[in-house]
Amino acid sequence: MPALMLGCLACAATVLAADEEGWVTLFDGKTLRGWKQVSGTAFFEVIDGAIVGTTRLNSLNSFLATDETYRDFVLEFEVKQDGGPANSGVQIRSATDPSYNEGRVFGYQVEIDPFERAWSGGIYDEQRRGWLYPLTLNPSARGVYRPQEWNRFRIEAIGTTIRTWVNDVPVAHVIDAVSSEGFIALQIHSIERADEVDRRTLWRNIRLRETTAATPPVETLFVRNLIPNDLSDIERRQGWRLLFDGRTTDGWRGVDGASFPTRRWKVENGELVLLSGGKGEHIVTEDQYAAFELQLEFKLSPGADSGIVYFVPDRSVTPTSPFLGLEYQLRDDAVDPDLARGVITSNTLGSLFGVLPRKQLMPNLGLAPRVGEWQHARIVAHFDSRVEHWLNGVKVLEYVRGSPAYRKAVAASPLHALIDFGENARGRIVLQDGGREVRFRSVKIRAL
Indicate if the pLDDT at residue 180 is higher than 90. Answer: yes
Q: What average pLDDT score do residues 134-151 get?
A: 96
Indicate if the pLDDT at residue 429 is higher than 70. Answer: yes
Indicate if the pLDDT at residue 368 is higher than 90. Answer: yes
DSSP 346: T
- Cα(353)–Cα(351) distance, integer angstroms: 6
Q: Which among 429, 58, 33 is positioned nearest to 251, based on CA atoms?
A: 429
What pLDDT is attached to residue 20? 65
Indicate if the pLDDT at residue 14 is higher than 70. Answer: no
Q: Which among 129, 441, 443, 444 is positioned nearest to 299, based on CA atoms?
A: 441
Q: What average pLDDT score do residues 341-368 get?
A: 97
Tens of pLDDT, residues 259-293: 999 999 999 999 999 999 888 899 999 999 999 99
- Cα(426)–Cα(314) distance, integer angstroms: 9
CA 399, 404, 408, 413: dihedral to nearest 10 degrees? Answer: 40
Q: What average pLDDT score do residues 74-86 get?
A: 94
Give bridge partners of residue 441 from the DSSP assignment.
297
By DSSP bridging, strand 151-158 and strand 130-133 are unpaired
pLDDT confidence band for 222 (50 / 70 / 90): very high
What pLDDT is attached to residue 7? 40
pLDDT confidence band for 192 (50 / 70 / 90): confident
- Mean model confidence pLDDT for the chain: 93
84: left (phi over 0), alpha (psi -120 to 50) or beta: left
Higher pLDDT, 437 or 258: 437
Asked if residue 72 lies in contact with residue 210, where contact means CB atoms within 8 angstroms, the answer is yes
Q: What average pLDDT score do residues 129-150 get?
A: 97
What pLDDT is attached to residue 445? 98
Residue count (the chain): 448
pTM for this predicted structure = 0.93
Indicate if the pLDDT at residue 15 is higher than 70. Answer: no
DSSP three-state, residue 198? coil
pLDDT confidence band for 18 (50 / 70 / 90): very low
What pLDDT is attached to residue 31? 98
Query: Domains along the chain?
Result: 21-210 (2.60.120.560), 229-447 (2.60.120.560)
What pLDDT is attached to residue 9? 35
- Cα(289)–Cα(211) distance, integer angstroms: 41
- Show the beta-strand stretches assigned E in 136-251: 151-158, 161-166, 169-175, 183-188, 200-210, 224-225, 241-242
Q: What average pLDDT score do residues 134-140 get?
A: 98
Indicate if the pLDDT at residue 5 is higher than 80. Answer: no
What pLDDT is attached to residue 83? 85
What one-character-per-residue DSSP string does 350-396 give?
TSBTTTB---PPP-STTTS--TTS-EEEEEEE-TTSEEEEEETTEEE
What pLDDT is attached to residue 257? 78
What pLDDT is attached to residue 280? 85
- Cα(305)–Cα(377) distance, integer angstroms: 15
What pLDDT is attached to residue 302? 97
Asked if residue 255 lies in contact with residue 282, where contact means CB atoms within 8 angstroms, the answer is yes
Indicate if the pLDDT at residue 323 is higher than 90. Answer: no
- Cα(306)–Cα(325) distance, integer angstroms: 14
